[in-house]
Structure 1
Amino acid sequence: MEKTFARQFEALLEKYSELLVGEASDETMEKVKMWALYTHIAKSMPALAKHWNELYPDAKEEMKQIINEIKVMNEQHRSSSQK
């Protein structure tokens, strides 16, 4: 993959994180990336997501925590933006 494209895609992810949850730290961006990819997989290939959840129950719980954290951060960001 071309380095220029990788940097440009990283900028897209950074802006998406800022708009979604109000911040773009490396840790937050990684969580947003995992959340977005897992959500896409669960919608486009639910059997695969179910299989992974059954195969790795600890990872499933971690993913649930990440999903909840992103949801809470998004709600907080939206409520602070409306003030």
Structure 2
Amino acid sequence: MDEKLDALLEKYTELMVGDTTEELKQKLEVYALYSHIAKSMPPLVKHWHELYPDTKEEMKRLFHEIKQMNEAHRNKE
């Protein structure tokens, strides 16, 4: 299952940002997991941010970076 999930993550990364480096895959994995948790359990994310206040800004930067890469990738097509 690990190989199949990795293949899914690799394709997701390629479709989102146009490249599939290990660093990008890791960023998109964090992005996807955080997005899902934030939508399905907002109180958990709020609690997590209270425990680790710096993470909120880190996640904002990550989301902004991925958004920019995604827009650049879409504009190439």
User: Do the structures match in fold with TM over 0.5?
Assistant: yes
Q: Which 5+ residue runs of structure 1 have no aligned equivalent?
A: none
What percentage of aligned pairs have identical amino acids? 57
Q: Which 5+ residue runs of structure 2 have no aligned equivalent?
A: none
> Alignment RMSD, CA only?
0.8
> What is the DSSP-based 3-state SS (H/G/I as helix, E as strand, rest coil) of the residue aligned with 1:23?
coil
Residue 7 of structure 1 aligns to which amino acid in structure 2? E
Counterpart in the other structure of 2:46: 50
Query: Displaced runs of 4+ in structure 1, greater than 2 A?
Result: none
Counterpart in the other structure of 2:66: 70
Instruction: For residue 73 of structure 1, report the CA deviation from its aligned partner.
Output: 0.5
1:60 to 2:73 alignment: no
User: Quick check: which has more Rg, 1 or 2?
Assistant: 1
Q: TM-score scaled to structure 1, two decimals?
A: 0.88
Q: Distance in 2 between matches of 1:23 and 1:37?
A: 19
Q: Distance in 1 between matches of 2:4 and 2:39?
A: 26
Q: TM-score scaled to structure 2, two decimals?
A: 0.95
Instruction: For residue 53 of structure 1, report the CA deviation from its aligned partner.
Output: 1.2
Q: Distance in 2 between matches of 1:65 and 1:55?
A: 19
Any residues of structure 2 matched to 1:1-83 within 5 Å, and which? Answer: 5-81=1-77
Residue 16 of structure 1 aligns to which amino acid in structure 2? Y
How many residues are treated as equivalent by the alignment? 77
